[in-house]
Amino acid sequence: MTSIALEDLPNHKGKIVGQSPWKTISQDIIQAFADATGDHQWIHVDVERAKKEAPWGAPVAHGFLTLSLIPQLNQQAMTVTGPAATINYGMNKVRLPAAVKSGSDIRSTVELLDVQDVDEKRVLATYKTVIEIKGEDKPAVVAENLAMYVKP
């Protein structure tokens, strides 16, 4: 895992700042997400039907499930030291080019696109996060995500 001091963050602009370890997306994780969100579409939760009828030959994770794993994966890829708090500030762009089949491994690669002082207490960082699927050509997610760092 990469560790970068908040005051040193601008020196990493335009660079890959970390890559997470692989995480397996099990059917249990997919089911828990379906239960939490109420999205029980058969392509996610009906294993036998998905094996027979889905274009992937298996159930797939919800796109929003994969997207929601960005904080977890990116915290395993890199950390910024020094802020009193780090706030998920949102997204600028999100694309979901490929489905994540149940049992697949994913990981994030994080690139720092921009760093801006908002005021004397806050710094806004813009990251490009790509979540790849082991063994697949297309990524599951390409997102421009924002982190607001609050200085102590």
Q: Which of the four pLDDT bands, split at 50, 70 and 90, describes residue 131?
A: very high
Q: Domains of the chain: which residue ranges?
A: 2-23+60-150
Model pLDDT for residues 12-38, shown as the tens digit of each residue:
999 999 999 999 999 999 999 999 999
Q: Which CATH architecture has domain 2-23+60-150?
A: Roll (3.10)
Please provide residue 48's backbone torsions phi and psi, each rounded to the nearest 5 degrees: -65, -45
In angstroms, rounded to a whole number, what is the distance separating the alpha carbons of residues 35 and 27? 12
The average pLDDT across 62-82 equals 97
145 SS3 class: strand
Determine the pLDDT at residue 33.
98
Please provide residue 82's backbone torsions phi and psi, each rounded to the nearest 5 degrees: 115, -35
The average pLDDT across 108-129 equals 98
In the block, tokens 């990251």 appear at 127
What letter would DSSP give residue 12?
G
Please provide residue 147's backbone torsions phi and psi, each rounded to the nearest 5 degrees: -125, 130
Q: Which of the four pLDDT bands, split at 50, 70 and 90, describes residue 2?
A: very high
The average pLDDT across 107-119 equals 98
User: Smallest Cα–Cα separation from 40: which of 59, 20, 67?
Assistant: 59
**Which pair of tokens denotes residue 32?**
């828990």
Determine the pLDDT at residue 71.
95
Determine the pLDDT at residue 102.
98
The average pLDDT across 103-119 equals 98
**What pTM value is reported for the model?**
0.94
Determine the pLDDT at residue 14.
98
Determine the pLDDT at residue 11.
97
The secondary structure of 43-104 as a DSSP string is: HHH-HHHHHHHSTTSS-B--HHHHHHTHHHHHHHHEEEES-SEEEEEEEEEEE--S--BTT-
In angstroms, rounded to a whole number, what is the distance separating the alpha carbons of residues 111 and 113? 6
Q: Which amino acid is at 11?
A: N
